[in-house]
Structure 1
Amino acid sequence: MSSITEYDKDELVPPQWLNNAFFEQVLQPQSSKGKIKITNITIEPATEKGEHYASVMYRANVTFTLPADCDAAPRQQSKSLIVKALPELRGEKQRLLQDSKLFETEIGIYTEVVPRLEEALQLAGECVQFGASCLYNTLRPLKVLVFEDLTELGYEIVRMRALTVNEIKAAYRKLAKWHAASYKLAKERPEICHKYRHSFMTIPYIVNSSFISSGIKNFIDMLGSVPTLAAYKPYFLKLQPDWAAKCRATYTEYFLNHQQQTYYGICHGDLLANNLMFKHNRVTGELADVLLVDYQLAYVGPLVNDLIYAFYMLYTAEQRANNREELLQYYFESFMQALKRLGCSVEALSFECFQEQLKRQKTLALFLLLSFLPIRYALSAGLLDRDHMMATDEERSELYYNKNYMAELHNILPMYLHFGYLQ
C-alpha cells in the first residue's frame, strides 16, 4: 500500500466484517451445493483521497477455491472486487449519510433500472454497458454493495488533469443513451420511477442544515463587497426569500409540479469526473468507452438537470466560457438519435425547446453557481478538506473570495443576465 496520506482516513483500516465469511457469501456459486473456501484476502482503499464522499470503498483481492461440483470452472480462482459501504468512523460524512436513502437508491438503480435500460437499448439494436456489474448487495445488517473491479477491465478514472472536450463528449454520448432509455422507462413504467423520489435535496442532513440558505447569503455579501459585481446584488436579494424551497423544487418537480413539454427520466445526479471511468485502446490509445459509476444521488427529474450539474462540476472554467454551446449541441444530437432508435416520438423536441427546458431550471443553475462552485474551487486548490466542506457557515463564507471564483463570476453573471436567469 502507498503512503496513508493518499487515502481518506476512514478507509485506512478495513472493517472487521470484511472477512472470509463475508467474501464466501459474495462469491458462493448459486448452482453449487458445496461451499467455496477463501485462501487469501488483501484489502486496500479503492480510490485516492477526496475522490468520493458518500461512502467508503475498498478494493479486495480474493483468492479462493471453488467446490468440486463446479466442473466448468478452474478450482483455484482470484477476483478483484470493489466493496462500497457506509463509513463507520464518526464525523461529518457519517452524519450526512446515516439517515439518507443513498444506498437504497443505488441498489435499486443497479438491480432494477440498469438492466431495464440496457435491455431496451439492446432490443433497439444497440449493445450498451452503463456501469460496473453489481455482484452483491444488502441493506441489513449493513448497507453494502460489491462490484466487479473495472480497473481489471481496463477502465480508469482520469486523474491529475481536467477532462478534455472529447472526453466530455464521450460521457455525454453515454449519458444521452441513459437519458433516452430512462425517459422511455418513465413513460411506460412510471411505477418504477416513483421509487426514485429521493435526491440530494431530501437527505435529512441537507434539509436540516443551513447549507442552502447560507450559500445565497454568503454570495450576496461577497457581491456587495466587490465593486465590479455589486450591480448583481439586487437580483439575488429578490431571489433570497424561500431560496431553500425554490432549490428543492428543482429536484422534486416530477412528483410535485409536473410540467408539460419536459423530458423527465432518471438523472444520474452527480456527474463528476470521479464518477466516470474511461477505457482506452491499448494499442492506439484512442478512447474506446466510458462508464457512469456511483448512482447514489440518482433521482427522477428533468433530464436537463444533469447537464446543468455537469456545467459546474465537470467542465473547467475555460470550457464553461468556450465550449458550452458545442457540448450542449453534441448532447442534444446524441439524445435525439437515441430517442429515435428507441422508437420515441421526437417531433416536439427541437434544440430551441431543449434550451427552454434548460432555462426553466435556472434556479438549479444559480444554486450550483453560488453553493457548489466555490466549494469545487476550494477543493481543487487544496484549501478545504472534503470531510469538512459542509461543516460551518463561517468556513464556507471564506470560499466566496477565491480570486478564480470571482474572476469567473465576471463571465457567468453577464451570461445569465442575458439569458434572463436573474429575472
Structure 2
Amino acid sequence: MHIIQQILFVLLVAAAVFLFARKVREIRRNINLGKDEKINDNPAARWKNMLLLAFGQKKMFKRMTPAILHFFVYAGFVIINIEILEIILDGIFGTHRMFAPYLGSLYPVLIGIFEILAALVLVSCAIFLVRRNILKLKRLNQSELNGWPKTDANAILITEIVLMSLLLTMNAADFNLQQLGSEHYHPVGAFWVSGFIAPLFNGMSEGALMGLERGAWWLHIVGIFAFLNYLPYSKHLHIVLAFPNAYYAKLMPQGEMKNMPEIQNEVLYMMEPDKAPTDLDPNAAPPRFGAKDVTDLSWKNLMDAYSCTECGRCTANCPANMTGKKLSPRKIMMDTRDRMEEMSKNIDANKGSFVEDGKSLLHDYITTEELRACTTCNACVEACPVSIDPLSIILQLRRNLVMEESNAPQEWNQMFGNIENNMAPWKFSPDDRDKWVGEMG
C-alpha cells in the first residue's frame, strides 16, 4: 500500500512541476514579445533595490497596517516552504517527519515557529478578506477589479486560509496519534499552536485519527501543488517576479524621460543634411514612433505588467484619478497583461506565429482619454511597492498617438507649432521674448 502511495505522489510531483514549467516558458515567451532593452548598469544599486523593495518590502511600510499583515503572509509563505520540503521528501521516500531524528529537540521548536507563522497567515488573510469584501476599501473595489480580478484575489486568500488550517489540523491529529503510540508517528510532542487544537480530537479512534491526519496531509500538499500551478494565471505571480522586477527597476531620476533617437536624428539631419545616411533601404518599413501594441514596448514593460499585484497604490496616489479622470495606472498594467495573454493565445492557435487580429493595446484596451489625463508626475511609480513603471507605457502610447496619428488636443498642437517655429511653447519670436527684460528696467 505504501509503495502505491509513493508512486502516486511521485507522479503528482512530476505532473505539477511539468505543468508549472510549461506555463513559465509561455510567460517568458510573452515577455520576450517586447523589444530588447539592455539593463545591466550599476549592479550594486540594483541588488540593493531588490533587497530593500522585494525582500525588505520597504515601500509597503508607508501604510503600516496592510504592511504588517502582508509581511506575515510573505514571511509565512517563504519560511513554511521548509516544512513543505520535508512533506515532499516524506511523500517520495515513504517516511514520516524525516527531519525529526536528525534535528532532535530543535525539531518541535522549528515546527512551532512554522505553526505561529501559519496562524499569522491565516489571521492576516481573514483580515484581508474583510477589508476587501466587508469594509470595501476604495482602492480594492474600483471598476477595473470587477469580475475575475476580484474573484482571483478572494480565491487566493481563501486558499491560503484552507492550506494553513489543513497544516494545523494535520499536526493536531499527529499529536493525538503520538499519544496512542501509533506506528510511524514519532513522539515529538505537542506543537505551539496545534497543541491547543489537539483536544478537539480526543475520543476519536486510531483509525479515524489516521484518516484525518492522512487526509489533511494529502489535501495540504495537493493544495500546494494546485496553488503552484494557479500562480502563473493569477496576479499573485508577483510572488516570483517581484524580485527580478525590483532588480531591473529604472535607476534614472524620477521625471527624467528617455529621448527618442529616431527623432533626435531627424532633427540632426534637418540641421546638418550632410550627416544623413545615404545607404538606407528605400523598401524598408519606416520606424514606428512610440508604441501601439505590446510588441512595441520593451521586455521590461511587459515584465512590469506580469509583476503587478493589482494592489491599487498607484491608482490611489494618481492625481488624475483622484479628480475623477478615467486614468488608472493599475488598469494600464492590467490591460497590458490582458493584451499579452490575448496575443499568446493567438500564437498558440497558429502554431507559434502571431496572425494579425486587427486589435492593438492602443484604442482597443487603453483609450485616448486615459492617456491624455496623465500629468507625468511619477506618483504611480513612487507608490508601487516593486517600482513598476506605468508611466513608461503611458508615454510610449501617447507618443504614438501624437507622432503616428497626429492625435492631440488643439492646445497641444498650438504648443507643438510654437516650439517648431519659435523654439519655445509661447507664440513669441526669440527676439520678442527678450523685450520683457528691458521693460523690467
The reply to whether TM is greater than 0.5 is no
Taking CA–CA contacts closer than 8 Å with sequence separation of 6 or more, which of the two structures ends up with the larger relative contact order? 2
Q: TM-score, with normalisation over the residues of structure 1?
A: 0.26
The structure where helix makes up a greater share of residues is 2
The structure where strand makes up a greater share of residues is 1
